[in-house]
Structure 1
Amino acid sequence: MVTECKQRSCDSPVSQLLKKTSEMSAMNRKLIQTLAETLSKEVEHFNKTEIECLIREFNELLGEPALPVRAAHGLDRGAFRTILHNMFGMTDDMIMDGVFRTFDKDKDGFISMREWIEGLSVFLRGTLGEKIKYCFDVYDLNGDRYISREEIIPMLKNSLIRQPTEEDPDEGLKDLVEITLKKMDQDHDGRISFEDFEKAVREENLLLEAFGTCLPDMTSIEAFDQNVFQKQLEQ
């Protein structure tokens, strides 16, 4: 009788569900490891273990921790903006849209798992050269491979703190735009090409984020490392 009860307990719907969940978790862990192994050979700056953590974080952000590899699309613009704000303290909608476009390589309106990992590789740990290209792409609002006066004005306007005693802030903004163009427009054609931007930044690194903050500061990077890499490894 005891043996029969034990058998019935093992075959109960709850037990079967727990067993199935355990099997699915094991399958997902194996699949994550396989994905991480592949991506670690293709993405710079992260090792296999860190990529596993980034995959899990991506699926947590999607709200699909149980089935991590079944995300049909990825993070949409709104969800990605929330991440940039909550994790990295970004507040400028125009810049956040630029970061989204730069991560979204295939331009389908979603950040896929691969795009998430490739984007963070540069965002968090990129070389100066990689960050120069990234920042240029963020600031190139219309994607024509130039940063024009018309693009610079709203970006600088959003990043400036308006003084209450300033009589004509737009006049000061126009002066700042002209000074910036004079500094960065190497070939004097009235717009900033990638070559112009790269040369100016390599001569003066502080110009990297000249048109708005689009990279995380060290405090945000350390917090991300702590919350995503170290905590997951401790679990």
Structure 2
Amino acid sequence: MDSLDSTLDSMQNNRFAALYNSMIRELTNTTHLSQTEVTSLLMVYYKFVMNNGRAAKMMTKKQFYQIFLVLFNLNDMRAADRTLLHITKHVKYVDPAGWIQLFTLFTTGDLTMRMKFAFAVYNTKGTGLIDREMISVAVERFFIGEDEDEVMELRADMCELIIKKFDVDKDGFISFDDYVTVVSQQPCLLEFLGRLFPSVDDQNVLAHCTNIDSLISY
């Protein structure tokens, strides 16, 4: 165990083992990640926790935001907040299981899992339906410029285009079934209301940094 991470001393390595060994086995059995990948990700998590002091046991949400915005290159704070709600119930912290769940979502090839996550993030009211107001708020960041009238027109046009495309049953809302119908046929529309997943390039960097071997393209 002393050699698990050469940047840590033996006491720190032993504490990691005591805290996470049983969790590593459980998460390896319940996710698509290998034992090495889960261990590496939890080691990264552990190092963030150590920065919070000897008594700390979890990553802070402030640390998560920094990772989300910098390492993942995802710059939508509303998406970060919704992602946090999806992976953890803690108010101020991100627990280790939530940390692994995040990477499970980001690295899975299971389109259904990705659709469930994306729809939950986009459905900001938690109603199970995406309405015109949610779409309007989301498309605000798609268009910016000095000509306010032109920007407003572009946003309105985009909103109408999205509703026309995704409201399969024409009831004025986008349900999960509507979303699945469209995205199953056109997976490129998975993130139709804004980026939620790291790009391929960002995933490659992430994979090398955290030893997620299954993501690395040799």
TM-score with structure 1 setting the length: 0.78
Residue deviations 1:183-216 (CA, integer Å, cap 9, x gap): 1011212111111111111121121111101111
Partners of 2:181 and 2:90 lie apart in 1 by 28
Aligned to 1:190: 172
Is the counterpart of residue 171 in structure 1 residue 140 in structure 2? Answer: no
**Runs of 5+ in structure 1 lacking a partner?**
1-20
Aligned to 1:138: 121
Residue deviations 1:4-48 (CA, integer Å, cap 9, x gap): xxxxxxxxxxxxxxxxx7356335335433321122112x22111
1:161 Cα offset (Å): 3.5
Distance change in 2, residues 1:194/1:71 (3 Å): farther
Q: How does 1:1-235 map to 2 (within 5 A)?
A: 22-23=10-11, 25-29=13-17, 31-42=19-30, 44-64=31-51, 71-76=56-61, 78-104=62-88, 106=89, 108-158=91-141, 160-164=142-146, 167-229=149-211
Cα contact 2:49–2:58 (8 A) shared by 1: no
Partners of 2:58 and 2:17 lie apart in 1 by 21
**Runs of 5+ in structure 2 lacking a partner?**
1-8, 214-218
Partners of 1:95 and 1:230 lie apart in 2 by 24
Distance change in 2, residues 1:54/1:138 (3 Å): same
Partners of 1:190 and 1:60 lie apart in 2 by 47
Partners of 2:79 and 2:210 lie apart in 1 by 24
Amino acid at match of 2:183: V
Cα contact 2:131–2:172 (8 A) shared by 1: yes
Instruction: Give the greater-gyration-radius structure (CA).
Output: 1
Alignment RMSD = 2.5
Cα contact 1:146–1:192 (8 A) shared by 2: yes
1:125 Cα offset (Å): 2.4
1:157 Cα offset (Å): 1.0
Residue deviations 1:113-141 (CA, integer Å, cap 9, x gap): 00110121011224111111111011111
SS in 1 for 2:157: helix
TM-score with structure 2 setting the length: 0.83
Distance change in 2, residues 1:161/1:36 (3 Å): same
Distance change in 2, residues 1:118/1:223 (3 Å): same
Amino acid at match of 1:173: R
Distance change in 2, residues 1:116/1:172 (3 Å): same
Deviating beyond 6 angstroms after TM superposition, the runs of 4 or more aligned structure 1 residues are none
SS in 1 for 2:32: coil
Residue deviations 1:156-200 (CA, integer Å, cap 9, x gap): 111x13344574321221121111111101121211111111111
Distance change in 2, residues 1:109/1:24 (3 Å): closer
